Structure 1
Amino acid sequence: MLTLFLVLFPVVAAAAVLLSTNATAKTTALVGAIGELLIAGLAFFTFAANDQYQFGFDYAWFEAAANGTGGVRLSGAIDGISLLPVVLTGLVTPLIILSTFKQTYARPTSFYALILFMQAALMGVFVARDGFLFYFFFEAALIPIYFLAAMWGGENRIAVTFKFFVYTIFGSLLMLVALVYLYRQTPLVNGVHSAAIADFYALNLPAKAQGWVFWAFFIAFAVKMPLFPFHTWQPDTYVESPTPATMLLAGIMLKMGVYGLIRLILPVVPEGVNIWGSTAMIMAVIGIVYGAIIAIRQRDMKRLIAYSSFSHVGLMAAGVFSRSEMGLQGALIQMLAHGINVVGLFFIAELILQRTGTRQLDQLGGITRNTPRLTVYFLIILLGSVALPLTNGFVGEFLLLAGVYGYNHYIGLAAGLTIIFGAVYMLRMYQKSMFGQPAPRTAAFADLAGSDSYVLLILCVFVFWMGLYPASFLKLTEPAVLNLMQFIK
């Protein structure tokens, strides 16, 4: 039942926000998000390190009919594969809300309620055990982020969000077709097919069918992450969206795609992965290198971080398609690490924009002279992003690169360029913005205080926790990963 509370509590909190006043909306939202964090924390600290689903719920959704339809259930639970995305969603959402406490948004009740509705949908994706329930939440997460971007975004928000909507709806339609096909292939039990994801694992589909199901799923997930060449919606959407929405997109929403690769593609269509996995791997590695090179050329901090995220998610996908224990473990822990780091980086870019009126690197400089707290927090999160040993990014990238290198030495070497390129564009961003002579816009830049400082401090604690004691996370995911490996050929 704990899992059901994870999904329903943000909905109740969102309703409370809608009923609150404009003056109390953000406080009400923060209290609700902290309540959700406590539930996620309870799941994390009481989770038994085994390969079983825990804290589950299971109710009939569509009643079975005499003609053999039905068998769709409201079924959810947490295992080692879903645990870290659940923790990430519970942790990052209150920090995103807290990061807005010194800002004012129009229609705050709607703004903060949409954030909480999205949190509920994201939780639903990560805990769903029924294929159609997974699809329902996968689509439900699109609605709040669409309105957040379209109503509170920049000047080009309408065109950009329309492109994002079309891309994701197209991919999701393919996934729905694949789910209906899989549902119809499950054996009849008491005259009813099953949509349980576990029953999809037991199917032994022909190789040709597995091939097209692979692509139907892969395109849907590749758009969400995004992977090359399905990424063209991402940079503009990240830049035009309000920063809290960008944090949700990059910090959590793209993890739905990586999670889908692990949960559905690898175990459901293993022969399809055998046939097309190398193609997907090459696409992922192209994205790693391409995204990093484009990031080096950026002058806008937010756009630079957007391309950085695009490059990093390519490495996660490559690790998944290595079909190795190290690759899968690396993808899971890197989902958490990347979410923490990218939320911190986008928040810092927003702080700089608020205080200087620009994110252009050639108009910044010298910020570090008056900002010891920001200087240290920014550096810690940046070093986590470039995978410095003893930080959170190192653990995931080491496991991912080891998995990809074991798959193919040359592809592993190409993927390893992410470490070099990442250091180039991240350290360049830090140098251009923080060091040198103060620019006219940065001369009076004040240091962090209050809620701004709390957000970055909490993120930095997790940077070091994951880097110094990764076993506290990996030991919880390992049994489920080993169990999943039996379905991978």
Structure 2
Amino acid sequence: MLTVLLILIPLVTGLITFGLSGRGAKVLSLVSSLATLAVALAAWSQFRTAPEALSFTAEWIPQLNSQLNFGLDGLSLMLVLLTTISFPLIFITVFSRNYEKAGAFYGLMLLSQAGMLGVFLTYDALLFYVFWELALIPVYFLCSMWGGEKAIPVTFKFFVYTFAGSLLMLVGIIYIYFQTEGSFSWQAFTSLSLSNSEQSWLFWLFFVAFAIKMPVFPFHTWQPDTYEQSPTAVTMVLSGIMVKMGLFGVMRWLMPVLPQGAYMWQEAAILLSVIGIIYASCIAIMQSDLKKLIAYSSIAHIGLMSAAIFANNEQSLAGVQVQMFNHGINIIGLWIIIEVIEQRLGTKNMQQLGGIAAVAPKLSILLVIISLANIALPLTNGFIGEFLMFSGLFQHNVWFAAVSAIAIILAAVYMLRMLQKVLFGEANALTSTTSDLKGGEMLALVCITAMIFVLGFYPKPLLELVSGSGIQNTVAALTGR
């Protein structure tokens, strides 16, 4: 029942929030997110003793043999924890902001949370598709209604990209459904033996859908503009959590269902990912806009995770799962600070900043810590996942790993350059009067910093989840059944 509550709480409270305004919408959203986090922690506790008790099955559409089939393994629990931790941090950060039509804004945020949690929890392909779309639609309205001056065309591009990918995935789901003789269950999909030719073309239907969501080169072009034009709270959801839906889809559905297809196109998928890593890192170095810099940084990080998934060994897959959580936490921390800078100074152009360290020391210290975690400095949370991913990638192909490793240097260049331009030097007329972090902002960033150090020094809790996530089955799928 805990798995059902994880979806019902944000779904029901999100619908109620539409009828509220102002402070009432803020308070209910924050309370809802904290309640969902409490349920997730209870599920984590039960997962360690009786994981089978977290399964839930009920009839949904009997005519199609589709069920409400929910469950948790290490992979899905990792992403459930990321989602339920992130939303309270986001709501605490923006609590002092006044959004027009606040009830609709916070209601849509909670509905997107319900959709993402449904994606991570379901073991029914049709229900997976429904939640996949449920997560997308609220974000479309959030971006278009509360975004920047170019929000409408940018959001339209984002919607067309992701909806087109979703339709490709739906075609693949329907085809496989008929091959199973009428079942949408994950068990029926994974036990089906499709021919190599079927798996080959089906692979691209699913991979393109998931690659757009991540995004992976060359399906990434919607992302930088969307991140720039979206309200920062929505950008946190997109980059911290929603992109993980694509990685999750590959690991939960694509590889176990289409093992031979994944094996045949393995090198092509890694090549696209590696191209994206270097391309995005080089573009990030050239950026003066803080939002676009972090957007391209995220493309590079996700590209490494994508390459590591297809590297087909336990180290790389373990690293991906750990890094999905840690990247989400770190990137949300960066977006919080960018939100603070933009709200205080009215700009996100690094050329107009400088000298903030002298007037906002708390912000500066936390930005340095989170930036170092983002480039995987040892003893920060970003290190262990990245180390495992590169180790697995080296085992698979030394050349792919060597090229990808260039991104470590490039990441240090663009992140340290950002710190230099934003924090150091002489304060100018714009930055000299800025104020330091306040209540909710400080609380959220301190929580993120604590997780950076705790998981950097002691990553065992995440590694324990990884060990129970069925990595061996995924490896077996990629190497051919």
Give the TM-score, by structure 2 length.
0.97
1:356-395 alignment to 2 at 5 Å?
356-395=345-384
1:3 equivalent to 2:28? Answer no
AA of the residue aligned to 1:138: W
CA distance in structure 1 between the aligned counterparts of 2:350 and 2:444, rounded to whole angstroms: 23
Of 392, 395, 409, the match for 2:398:
409
Deviations 1:456-487 (A, max 9, x none): 00111111122111111111221322343333
Deviates more, 1:370-379 or 1:141-150: 370-379
Q: Quote the offset at 1:54 in angstroms.
A: 4.9
The 8 Å contact of residues 95 and 440 in structure 2, kept in 1 or not, is answered as yes
CA distance in structure 2 between the aligned counterparts of 1:391 and 1:324, rounded to whole angstroms: 24
1:183-194 alignment to 2 at 5 Å?
183-186=177-180, 188=181, 193-194=182-183
Deviations 1:6-48 (A, max 9, x none): 0111012213322333232111111111111111111223322
Aligned to 1:98: 92
Percent identity between the aligned chains?
45
Relative to structure 1, the CA distance from residue 49 to residue 311 in structure 2 (aligned partners, 3 Å threshold; closer, same or farther) is farther
Aligned to 2:46: 46
Deviates more, 1:39-48 or 1:453-462: 39-48
AA of the residue aligned to 2:18: L
AA of the residue aligned to 1:223: I
1:163-202 alignment to 2 at 5 Å?
163-186=157-180, 188=181, 193-202=182-191
1:340 equivalent to 2:346? Answer no
Aligned to 1:67: none
Q: Quote the offset at 1:370 in angstroms.
A: 2.1
Relative to structure 1, the CA distance from residue 454 to residue 356 in structure 2 (aligned partners, 3 Å threshold; closer, same or farther) is same
The 8 Å contact of residues 310 and 478 in structure 2, kept in 1 or not, is answered as no
Of 253, 256, 260, the match for 1:271:
260
AA of the residue aligned to 1:365: G
AA of the residue aligned to 1:454: L
Of 205, 214, 224, the match for 1:235:
224
- SS in structure 1 at match of 2:238: helix
Aligned to 1:156: 150
Q: Quote the offset at 1:53 in angstroms.
A: 5.2
Aligned to 1:425: 414
Of 442, 463, 474, the match for 1:453:
442
AA of the residue aligned to 1:145: V
CA distance in structure 2 between the aligned counterparts of 1:395 and 1:174, rounded to whole angstroms: 35
CA distance in structure 1 between the aligned counterparts of 2:53 and 2:61, rounded to whole angstroms: 24
Aligned to 1:75: 69
AA of the residue aligned to 1:482: Q
The 8 Å contact of residues 49 and 475 in structure 1, kept in 2 or not, is answered as no
- SS in structure 2 at match of 1:75: strand
Relative to structure 1, the CA distance from residue 325 to residue 33 in structure 2 (aligned partners, 3 Å threshold; closer, same or farther) is same
Aligned to 1:287: 276
AA of the residue aligned to 1:117: L
AA of the residue aligned to 1:327: S
AA of the residue aligned to 1:404: L
Q: Quote the offset at 1:60 in angstroms.
A: 1.1
1:7-156 alignment to 2 at 5 Å?
7-48=7-48, 54-64=53-63, 70-156=64-150
Of 463, 475, 479, the match for 1:485:
475
Deviates more, 1:277-286 or 1:55-64: 55-64
Relative to structure 1, the CA distance from residue 45 to residue 390 in structure 2 (aligned partners, 3 Å threshold; closer, same or farther) is farther
Deviations 1:251-282 (A, max 9, x none): 00000000011111111111111211100100
Of 196, 200, 211, the match for 2:200:
211
The 8 Å contact of residues 83 and 477 in structure 1, kept in 2 or not, is answered as no
CA distance in structure 2 between the aligned counterparts of 1:44 and 1:461, rounded to whole angstroms: 20
AA of the residue aligned to 1:4: V
Aligned to 2:304: 315
Deviations 1:129-166 (A, max 9, x none): 00111111011111110000000000111100111111
Count matched residues. Answer: 478
The 8 Å contact of residues 49 and 477 in structure 1, kept in 2 or not, is answered as no
Deviates more, 1:468-477 or 1:453-462: 468-477
Relative to structure 1, the CA distance from residue 82 to residue 54 in structure 2 (aligned partners, 3 Å threshold; closer, same or farther) is farther
CA distance in structure 2 between the aligned counterparts of 1:265 and 1:177, rounded to whole angstroms: 14
1:351 equivalent to 2:346? Answer no
Deviates more, 1:254-263 or 1:97-106: 97-106
Of 248, 257, 274, the match for 2:246:
257
Gaps of 5+ in 1: 65-69
Q: Quote the offset at 1:199 in angstroms.
A: 1.7
Deviations 1:386-434 (A, max 9, x none): 0001111111111111111111001001111121111111111111000
Relative to structure 1, the CA distance from residue 336 to residue 54 in structure 2 (aligned partners, 3 Å threshold; closer, same or farther) is farther
CA distance in structure 2 between the aligned counterparts of 1:292 and 1:53, rounded to whole angstroms: 42
Deviations 1:164-209 (A, max 9, x none): 11101110111001111111111x4xxxx21111221111111010
CA distance in structure 2 between the aligned counterparts of 1:232 and 1:54, rounded to whole angstroms: 42
CA distance in structure 1 between the aligned counterparts of 2:19 and 2:52, rounded to whole angstroms: 36
Deviates more, 1:299-308 or 1:38-47: 38-47
CA distance in structure 1 between the aligned counterparts of 2:21 and 2:372, rounded to whole angstroms: 40
Note the aligned Cα RMSD (angstroms): 1.2
CA distance in structure 1 between the aligned counterparts of 2:49 and 2:192, rounded to whole angstroms: 27
AA of the residue aligned to 1:234: Q
The 8 Å contact of residues 61 and 73 in structure 1, kept in 2 or not, is answered as yes
The 8 Å contact of residues 394 and 400 in structure 2, kept in 1 or not, is answered as yes
- SS in structure 1 at match of 2:57: strand
Q: Quote the offset at 1:372 in angstroms.
A: 2.1
CA distance in structure 1 between the aligned counterparts of 2:152 and 2:85, rounded to whole angstroms: 30
CA distance in structure 1 between the aligned counterparts of 2:75 and 2:435, rounded to whole angstroms: 42
AA of the residue aligned to 2:80: V
Q: Quote the offset at 1:219 in angstroms.
A: 0.2
AA of the residue aligned to 1:58: T
The 8 Å contact of residues 319 and 328 in structure 1, kept in 2 or not, is answered as yes
CA distance in structure 1 between the aligned counterparts of 2:195 and 2:350, rounded to whole angstroms: 54
Relative to structure 1, the CA distance from residue 54 to residue 337 in structure 2 (aligned partners, 3 Å threshold; closer, same or farther) is farther
The 8 Å contact of residues 164 and 237 in structure 1, kept in 2 or not, is answered as yes
The 8 Å contact of residues 196 and 261 in structure 2, kept in 1 or not, is answered as yes
